[in-house]
Homo-oligomer: A and B are copies of this chain.
Amino acid sequence: MFTPSVRLGILGGGQLGRMLLQAAVDFDLQIRVLDPDPTASCAAIAPEFVVGSFQDYDTVYQFGKDLDVLTIEIEAVNLDALKQLQREGVKVFPQPEIVEIIQDKRVQKQFYRDHGLPTSDFILVDNREDARKYAGFLPAFNKLGKGGYDGKGVQRIVTPADFDKAFDAPGLLEKAVSFEKELAVIVARNESGEVKAFPTVEMVFHPEANLVEYLFAPADISPETDRKAREVAGRAAEAFGLVGLLAVEMFLTADGEILINEVAPRPHNSGHHTLRANDVSQFEQHLRAILNWPLGDTSAHCYAAMINLLGAEGFEGPARYEGMEALLATPGVHPFLYGKATTKPFRKMGHVTLIDKDADSLRRKVQTLKDTVRIIA
């Protein structure tokens, strides 16, 4: 049933929450946001903004207890409070049990193995000394079980000497795979079990920051690979029994194999282009999924790219944007600023979507514009 006056809460008030709020305006939802930072991206535009920690049991419980639906825009939230709210009848999507699996990369990887979902080979390790036993498994990535994000919590281990850099904490060794492309699929599943995946996209990472620098949609892959990637993403969402969005990052290996790298149970950087290129955006789709409305058509009406706007190196302080006029003057190009007052090196300050009817023209636009905007202080 369509209930526009549903009381919806979001844990986390960053840019993902901000874009969820923006999408929610169309449906007249009553939204409340929790974030410890009173200047968070959502603060100025949330109908109700509560300052407090989403990691604190009491804060989350009090925030959520009179809501109809509670969702997250960040995984590092207090799961005990979410489980209690769920027991008391609040719909919590994604479900806390799933967030718990995903929060710990060890459990997440084991989940793929147990459910026959394709992923690279791995060994669980308890600490640095434990890791040293597996020199024969190199080259590998040593990942922290908990707490890593945006490239933090990952170490490349090529030779046994590199084990000195390994994390001295529970983690895993993940076989380094030689891949052709990094792909991502965002899939939605609503409470009734309807599943829809957006077309597969291709991510290009910033060599230093280890963040997505830009992406192309759809990925330049065969229809068969696209189908396979979407199918894997859909199977993952169903294996979890997830309600909401699942962003599935994958490797495409040289022999055409799809391997799940990692997932996020929420809107994701790899879906920002949908704000301009698709019938529904990932943010609207997330709302449809968690409110158990029919999912939107995921098809795109053009080629699209997305460029992250990262704080320039060497600048920290109140943000200023150079070069925005050139962006605004280019057809099909649209900036999204996240409302963060201060910049620092590689901080995600916004993103740009680019759309075009022609893939080559789009790629040229990305090359022209990717270094046009500089965010300085």
Contacts and interface: CB of A to CB of B under 8 A. Distances in A.
Interface of A: 1-2, 4, 18, 21-22, 25-28, 30, 44-45, 47, 279-280, 288, 293-294, 296-297, 299, 301-302, 321, 324-325, 328-329, 331-332, 334-339, 355, 357
Nearest to A276: B279
A341 B274 CA distance: 30
Contact of A279 (B288, B296, B332, B336): B332
A297 B331 contact: yes
B338 A28 contact: yes
A45 B22 CA distance: 9
A218 to B, nearest CB: 16
Which are the 5 A-B pairs with shortest beta-carbon distances? A297-B331, A2-B324, A294-B329, A28-B337, A44-B47
B337 A296 contact: no
Q: Tell me the number of copies of this protein.
A: 2
30 contacts: A1-B325, A2-B324, A2-B328, A4-B321, A4-B337, A21-B45, A22-B22, A25-B45, A25-B339, A26-B334, A26-B335, A26-B336, A27-B337, A28-B337, A28-B338, A28-B339, A30-B44, A45-B45, A279-B331, A279-B332, A279-B355, A288-B328, A293-B325, A294-B325, A294-B329, A296-B331, A297-B332, A299-B331, A301-B301, A301-B302
A180 to B, nearest CB: 31
Contacts of A325: 1-2, 293-294
Nearest to A339: B28
A299 to B, nearest CB: 8
Contacts of A355: 279, 301
Nearest to A43: B47
Given A279-B355, A324-B2, A328-B2, A335 B44 contact: no
Contacts of A331: 279, 296-297, 299
A279 B297 CA distance: 19
Given A2-B325, A293-B328, A321-B4, A26 B337 contact: yes
A331 B21 CA distance: 22
A6 B280 CA distance: 30
Nearest to A28: B337
A275 B351 CA distance: 20
A373 to B, nearest CB: 9
